[in-house]
Amino acid sequence: MQASRDAIESPYAWARLTMSLLLMTIGGSGMYAVTVVLPHMQRDFGIDRGGASLPYTLTMIGFGVGGIVMGRLSDRFGVMVPVMIGAVGLGVGFIGAGLSSGLVVFGLMQGLFIGLLGTSATFAPLVADTTRWFDRRRGIALAICMSGNYTAGAAWPPVMQYFIDTVGWRQTYVGMGIFCVASMVPLALFLRRRPPPQEHAVPVAASAAPSTVSERPLGLSQNLLLGLLCVAGVACCVAMSMPQVHIVAYCGDLGFGAARGAEMLSLMLGMGVVSRLVSGWISDRIGGLRTLLLGSLLQGVALLMFLPSDGLMSLYLVSGMFGLFQGGIVPAYALIVREYFPPQQAGARTGTVLMATLLGMALGGWMSGAVFDLTGSYRAAFLNGIAWNLLNLAIVGSLVWRAHSLGLFVGYAAGRRAAA
């Protein structure tokens, strides 16, 4: 059953957002679990750091590709269908990975079931669905929904580390699989109602018709703008992945232990929740493009701060700073898609751009491990991340300049005032 336009920003919409937040928090476990077990799995399978990073890369590739597939399923059948598939995928993936006898089977479970069929179903489809239940408060609603990705990162590493230390990583993985199925299926049933009819979103240039903007966003073809956003997404997330994927291993190398690294990862992603909420509030006022530029600039500053930091307290401080600075970046891409593309394409277009960000995380996670194996140090890996961040800044800066030259920010402000 499809809801009416009156359902937009209704109490039901906010309740639905809460369910989406919970589902993304649970489903996000598939993204972060492998980073926590990385050093344990490396010892168990007797492999090097680059090889141990490969399952994370496969997970993120599957996550990214699955985002497009699940986004299309969501556009056609509603969001409940992909979320149900995701529950089963996570259950099979976690249990299969926990019972695996080597790197090949472990990587297959992570990439195919946890990434492609599992976690992807609780990311792009839920993000696209949220954009269709809100208009004036779309930015903050997106921020709340996508905070689930970071609440997962804040909650799961210490929980998993406790159970790994208690019963081992294999039993922990099996328990995670059972929990995902048991909790996600009931939550998914709440999402049966289809979104209300959609109208095109602002921003719109003061002198341009909505149809002109949707066909030539920022004066570019739709596919060219989507391509630029995808390249920018890869670049920013290669940079983002360095601390997120390797902070646990980095702390172990410095002699602080994996538990301290898990705490830093939890702090980083917990501050990311704060960042996403603040960035959502900001984006409702200045738009997705300028929010993305601000987040990318601050992420670059935080990456630079990692270079001189090798003490325990300084790493805690910089980890929190990194989370606080970069948490609003990925939600900004989803908001840009909703602002500049037709709403009927929300699932597929959002899935494509988010796929690019996840491929960036996959590439960066593997690349950082490979650079470490070549140099024996993470310093070069941090420098590599900074270079990719500069590429992102160049692309996003050029899009902001185009929007400014076309007067779209003036149109955005007028559109938000009219909506209010």
Residue 224 scores a pLDDT above 90? yes
Cβ atoms of 241 and 364 within 8 Å: the answer is yes
Least confident of 201-215, 280-294, 321-335: 201-215
Element (H, E) at 262: helix 258-286
The CB-based long-range contact list for 409-414 (8 Å cut-off, 24+ gap) reads 409/203, 409/286, 409/287, 409/290, 410/205, 410/206, 411/202, 411/203, 411/204, 411/205, 411/206, 411/208, 412/202, 412/203, 412/204, 412/287, 412/339, 414/206
Residue 1 has pLDDT above 70, yes or no: no
The per-residue pLDDT for range 78-94, each reduced to its tens digit, is: 899 999 999 999 999 99
Residue (of 237, 260, 285) closest to 392 by Cα position: 237
Q: pLDDT at position 4, please? A: 64
Sign of CA dihedral 95, 100, 106, 108: negative
The pLDDT score that the predictor gives to residue 3 is: 60
pLDDT interval class at 232 (50, 70, 90) = very high
The pLDDT, as a whole number, for residue 204 is 38
Query: What integer pLDDT is reported at residue 19 of this predicted model?
Result: 96
- Output the CA torsion sign for 199, 205, 211, 215: negative
Q: Decide if 17 contacts 127 (C-beta within 8 A).
A: no
Give the model confidence (pLDDT) of 163-190 as tens digits.
999 999 999 999 999 999 999 999 999 9
- Enter the pTM of the model: 0.73
Judge whether residue 162 has pLDDT over 80: yes
Q: How confident is the model at residue 211 (pLDDT cuts 50, 70, 90)?
A: very low
Highest mean pLDDT among 287-291, 392-396, 400-404: 392-396
Per residue in 109-158, pLDDT tens? 999 999 999 999 998 899 889 988 988 888 889 889 988 887 887 788 88
Read out DSSP for 191-220? G-SBPPP--PPSP--TTS-HHHHHHSGGGS
> Where is pLDDT greater, at 399 or 67?
399
pLDDT tens digits along 11-45: 999 999 999 999 999 999 998 898 889 888 988 99
Q: Rounded to whole angstroms, how far apart are CA atoms 187 and 182?
A: 10
- Domains in the chain: ranges and CATH: 5-419 (1.20.1250.20)
DSSP letter, residue 4: P
- Res. 208 pLDDT band, cuts 50 70 90: very low
Share of the chain above pLDDT 70, in %: 91
Helix, strand or coil, per DSSP, at residue 2: strand
Residue 188's beta-bridge partner residues? none
Query: How many whole angstroms separate alpha carbon 72 and alpha carbon 253?
Result: 43
Name the nearest CA neighbour of 114 among 80, 89, 83: 89
Mean pLDDT of the chain: 85
Amino acid identity for residue 273 in this structure: V
| Section 67-71 average pLDDT | 86
- Looking at the predicted structure, is the pLDDT value of residue 409 above 80? no
Residue 366, number of CB atoms within 10 A of its CB: 23
Q: Which of 83, 347, 73 is nearest to 192 (CA)?
A: 83
Pull the structure tokens for residue 234: 């890869």
Structure tokens given for 285: 């006022």
